Chain A
Amino acid sequence: MNKPVLEIQNLTTRFESEQGIANAMDGVSLQIDEGEVVGLVGESGSGKSMTGYSIMGLVEHPGSIVNGSILYRGRNLCSLSPEELRKLRGDRIAMIFQDPMMSLNPVLRIDTQLSETLKAHRSIQKYDANRRALEILHAMGIPSPEIRLRQYPHELSGGMRQRIAIAIALLLEPDLIIADEPTTALDVTIQAQIIHEFQTLIEVRGTSVLWITHDLAVASTLADRLAIMYSGQIMEQGPAVEILSKPAHPYTQGLLRSIPSHNERGKPLAQIRGSAPALTQLPPGCPFSPRCEQAKSLCSSPVPTNQIGISRSTRCHYPTVQTL
């Protein structure tokens, strides 16, 4: 069960522009095992979405992967030809996007969009494609799927559209799903339904998931392991339970403290002061140091990734395990 599906090693994705060089991902190492859900948590601009794009090989000019490797079942995705990568995409590795209003084609009917994916990877008869489409819509909890198949995206609600986007991603039963904030654009009630349906589906199939989100609460309900990202670096990673109860990196601690809760009613909400630095103007050493309350002089020198327990690591000179 613990064979890795995906191993990202020391991956650096760089964007070169007139403003300078920005490393959207800076030496990221991450492993996803079979059947495991890894939550990748970070603020906007922290490089979490870029991680998804890098895996899918969808990094576009002026960005490029300059260092490191992405191993899918031992094959390095960075050295595959575009055609080999295309065959993996959608079939073995699928992606779900944040905004279902945008990720479905407005002028194509739902059944066309589903069968397009099937046709891209399998030689399949129209009848079988239709049956497979009905099956997957049914599994995603979509009522009267026969009607939905003949509709256009604008005729469906946001929640329904995201269910369909997820159904398309699950269509060919991939080993790995990269979910880029798939529930962020939805109401909380719909969000809960969709997460529930998604969870059931991946558990049955043993699909691995990289769940990218800015919402620690969502990540903690879903993920087996968490990786916290900041300014293109993974600050801390480890089992979700341990990170949530005993965060080691000051940034993780700050994130956890800034979640509103019942126990702190009436008191001012803790916050991380300042804002994330521009990727072109990162401070030397730890990128979080200018905002860190525990920063010392050593923090402006390069930070190694420290192992702080079994399958737990943090990128901090002074990791202090805090029990919250």
Chain B
Amino acid sequence: MTDWINYDHPWRLAWRRYRQSPFAWIALIVCSIIIFAALFAPWLAPQNPYDLNVIDFFDAKLPPGSPSQSGFVYWLGTDGQGRDMLSAMLYGLRISLFVGVLSGLVAILIGMTLGMIAAYFGGWIDALIMRIVDFMLGFPTILVALMLLAILGQGVDKVIFALILVQWAYFARAVRSTALVEREKEYVEAAQSLGLSPQRIMFIHIMPNCLAPVIVLGTMQVASAISTEATLSFLGLGLPITEPSLGLLISNGYSNMLSGRYWISLYPGLLLLLTVFSINVVGDRLRDVLNPRLSR
């Protein structure tokens, strides 16, 4: 029999199209390096910025390139407490990415489930869920997060909770609109005619077909969560000073800007910019290659 043709799997096809843009390719490599650096920060960083024993207060506010007492070079200078900036940034990146990715994943889980339920059952269930979504999206993200943190207090867990709360609605809305389209397709009718339960149809049959927009939105939302967290930390409402994220590092150096010690704020700021920018470029490219309106 030769009456079957071997096409590529849609995901593999999307990957091949992704690589056609050199810019997005570079962004993906940068992203990977950033994620790698964050994951392996304890091994890459010359100093453990949380360990007060290794931090020498006399090394405070040294410009980039200064040698330390113990021999190595502060390539990016030191901050007000005498911490190596490079090490502090690697650890800060770790926290920023952790907060961004974890809150994004949980928000995806909640948003996808609620969006799917809304689309599948319709009627008053749909109306109820989507009105809550509208309500959530009606407030500016930063305002909701600020109010929550003012009530809950500081802490990594509280920041993650606040970020989940402000993000899930975006996913619910995106999944609902895709699932509404998928729900009308014949394979859903076929699954129903085979007597599959609504739960199986929703989560095993429809859900994988709704993944493309979620991946795109998820990438963008992780970037936005990272910058929201940085904003919150900068405003002093995010993470505690003992676990400085990128935002907090920027905030710490802010007061030194006018006295010419630019490096304390600038380098964490550049790293934050690079992180958010490269994630967004990857997300943009994903949107292009996963767009169902383009030929598949």
Residues of A near any B CB (own CB < 8 A)? 56, 58, 61, 86-91, 94-95, 97, 99, 102-108, 116-117, 120-121, 143, 152, 154-157, 159-160, 165, 168-169, 190
With a CB–CB cut-off of 8 A, which chain A residues contact B186?
97, 99, 102-103
CA distance in complex: A105, B3 (Å): 20
Can you offer 9 A-B residue contacts whose CB atoms are under 8 A?
Answer: A58-B193, A89-B194, A89-B195, A95-B193, A102-B185, A106-B187, A116-B204, A117-B194, A165-B190
Q: Does B20 contact A (CB under 8 A)?
A: no
Residue pair B196, A117 in contact (C-beta under 8 Å)? yes
Residue pair A105, B187 in contact (C-beta under 8 Å)? yes
Q: Does B208 contact A (CB under 8 A)?
A: yes
With a CB–CB cut-off of 8 A, which chain B residues contact A56?
192-193
Residue pair A105, B195 in contact (C-beta under 8 Å)? no
Residue pair A107, B209 in contact (C-beta under 8 Å)? yes
- Binary contact track B1-30/A, C-beta < 8 Å → 1, others 0: 101111101100000000000000000000
Contact of B194 among A102, A120, A190 (CB under 8 A): A120
Q: Does B197 contact A (CB under 8 A)?
A: yes
In the assembled complex, how far is the CB of residue B9 from the closest CB belonging to chain A, in whole angstroms?
6
Nearest A residue to B188, CB-CB? A105
What number of B residues sit within 8 Å (CB to CB) of A? 26
Are A106 and B209 CB-contacts (below 8 A) given A58-B189, A156-B4, A159-B3?
yes
CA distance in complex: A117, B195 (Å): 7
In the assembled complex, how far is the CB of residue A82 from the closest CB belonging to chain B, in whole angstroms?
9
CA distance in complex: A58, B201 (Å): 14
In the assembled complex, how far is the CB of residue A59 from the closest CB belonging to chain B, in whole angstroms?
11
In the assembled complex, how far is the CB of residue B101 from the closest CB belonging to chain A, in whole angstroms?
24
Nearest A residue to B206, CB-CB? A105
Most chain A CB within 10 A, of B189, B193, B197, is at: B193
Are A154 and B196 CB-contacts (below 8 A) given A103-B190, A107-B208, A160-B4?
no
Nearest A residue to B11, CB-CB? A107
Nearest B residue to A117, CB-CB? B194
Residue pair B205, A108 in contact (C-beta under 8 Å)? yes
**Contacting residues of chain B (89-112) with chain A, CB-CB under 8 angstroms:** none
Contact of B191 among A105, A152, A160 (CB under 8 A): A105
Residue pair B3, A90 in contact (C-beta under 8 Å)? no
Residue pair B200, A120 in contact (C-beta under 8 Å)? yes
Residue pair A157, B9 in contact (C-beta under 8 Å)? no
Residue pair A155, B7 in contact (C-beta under 8 Å)? yes
CA distance in complex: A99, B193 (Å): 15
In the assembled complex, how far is the CB of residue B16 from the closest CB belonging to chain A, in whole angstroms?
15
In the assembled complex, how far is the CB of residue B178 from the closest CB belonging to chain A, in whole angstroms?
13
Are A120 and B1 CB-contacts (below 8 A) given A105-B205, A165-B190?
no
Residue pair B10, A154 in contact (C-beta under 8 Å)? yes
Residue pair B194, A107 in contact (C-beta under 8 Å)? no
CA distance in complex: A226, B193 (Å): 24
Nearest A residue to B193, CB-CB? A95
Are A155 and B4 CB-contacts (below 8 A) given A99-B186, A104-B187, A120-B200?
yes
Residue pair A104, B193 in contact (C-beta under 8 Å)? no
Contact of A94 among B5, B191, B194, B204 (CB under 8 A): B194
Residue pair A143, B1 in contact (C-beta under 8 Å)? yes
In the assembled complex, how far is the CB of residue B110 from the closest CB belonging to chain A, in whole angstroms?
22
With a CB–CB cut-off of 8 A, which chain B residues contact A95?
190, 193
Residue pair B7, A154 in contact (C-beta under 8 Å)? yes
CA distance in complex: A240, B20 (Å): 59
Nearest A residue to B123, CB-CB? A61
Contact of B195 among A90, A155, A160, A165 (CB under 8 A): A90
CA distance in complex: A86, B194 (Å): 8
Q: Give the 10 A-B CB pairs with smallest separation, nearest first.
A: A90-B195, A90-B194, A102-B186, A89-B195, A95-B193, A103-B190, A157-B3, A107-B208, A105-B187, A157-B4
